[in-house]
Amino acid sequence: MKEHYVVTQGNNLIEARQKKPLTAREQKIILTMVSMIEPTDEDFKDYIISVKEFHEMLGLQGREHYTQLKKIVEDLMSKVVEIPSSNGGWVMTHWVSRAEYIDGSGMIQLRFAPDLKPYLLQLKTAFTSYKLSNILSLKSSYAIRLYELMKKWQHLGEWTCSIKNLREKLGVENDKYPRYANFNARVLKVAVTELNIKTDLNIELQEIKKGRSVEEIKFSIKHSPEKEIKLPNLEKDSKPIQEFNETDELRMHLNKLAIGYQFDTAFFAQLHQGASLIWPDDVEQELEFLIRYVNDEKTVKNPLGFIKSKITSAWDIHEAGGHITFADLQPLEERSTGRQEKLPDWFTSRNQPQEAAKPNPELEKEKEQMLKRLADKKRKET
């Protein structure tokens, strides 16, 4: 099991109702399987977890007992999820359709139910990604579900949900904690505290009342890359992490250019996937143009969320058959007096979803070098 595994799910699956909730152990199994899916996979495979990793991941005590693991898998296969569909209804499906323990191999093979394909395979839009390592240390099943919901809304920096809907999404059964005071004390506060201590998020909540009753909860969501949680050491003789791929190298390059913020792996993977579809031949150049604009445009207070919102808007235009580029964007402070701001309408709304990470100290020099390279390249082309 690798520290850099990323969980990517369609947003409808994130928003699913947990009518027969998964335990924390079961959630960790499912999300570990999700992290094994490759972006190019067209069908589900048998996802293999070693019994040793399985045992340590779930926090089981003593030796690896096959009968104990078998019971956990049997319970998992009985669990059902209700996923909202585009027609306003729901799709009901099991999580796992097949499980096999290969005697003598120390391996368990699991396969997702086929109805989950639209929410886990070949995702192009409306999906959420995060590092698997952030949820494996969580003990509360409610904390894991809340983390996923917070990750979905992280780019906006806040999310408001009714108490009724929140209970369904977290998997709090009807007969558990029916009074809000108990729900708040036993579920919300416990989950938020655990997320704030153990994950890359900082969450605050605000109660919204109607009369004396709490009707909704407003969550404020901030990302803290410096709090990224590492996986427990499941392999005593751990092997070096594989060499960076081209996406990793591009992320590191852009992080040197970004002033006052940094792209973490999960955030950039999602951003890059969308940008690559819009500009298959110019993705690096377009992202550099956008970063230069954000660096110089002083009205942008939350760069990461701003960048994501503009890529999202660009995707909408791309899907509608339009062509856009960030090449002509100029920060307001560099325009001459009296000149109106010449930005397309889709670019003018500035979302402020999250607080930026601390800046990389080498940035001014790196930025100058990048601008020089771009200028040299343009001169050669002309």
pLDDT of amino acid 9:
92
Residues 6+ positions from 232 with CB-CB distance below 8 Å: 56, 57, 136, 137
Strand partners, 214: 209
231 neighbors 172 (Cβ within 8 angstroms) = no
Q: Are 329 and 289 in contact (CB under 8 A)?
A: yes
**Residues 274 and 173 placed together within one structural domain of the fold:** no
Report the pLDDT value the prediction gives residue 315, as an integer from 0 to 100: 80
φ, ψ for residue 213, nearest 5 deg: -95, 140
Phi and psi, residue 238, nearest 5°: -70, 145
Tell me: do 59 and 165 sit in the same domain: yes
Integer Rg of the chain from CA: 23
Closest CA to 260 of 371, 364, 109, 157: 364
> pLDDT averaged over consecutive 10-residue blocks of the chain (382 residues)?
73 85 88 88 86 67 64 87 85 91 76 93 86 85 94 91 93 89 93 90 92 93 70 41 62 86 79 83 89 85 84 79 78 48 45 41 56 62 59
Provide the whole-model pTM. Answer: 0.59
Residue 238 belongs to some domain of the structure: no
**Number of domains forming the structure of the chain:** 2
What is the pLDDT, as a whole number, of residue 348?
46
pLDDT of residue 326: 85
Nearest in space to 154 (alpha carbons), one of 88, 90, 223: 223
Q: Are residues 61 and 204 in the same domain?
A: yes
Q: What is the DSSP letter of 360?
A: P
Q: Within this chain, do residues 178 and 268 fall inside the same structural domain, yes or no?
A: no
The answer to whether residue 22 is domain-embedded is: yes
Residues 219 and 250 in one domain: no
88, 125: one domain: yes
- Domain interval for residue 287: 246-381
Distance CA 150, CA 15 (A): 11
Q: What is the CATH number of the domain that holds 134?
A: 1.10.10.10
Rounded to an integer, what distance in angstroms lies between the CA atom of residue 128 and that of residue 119? 11
Beta strands in 22-131 (DSSP E): 47-50, 80-84, 90-94, 96-102, 107-112, 127-131
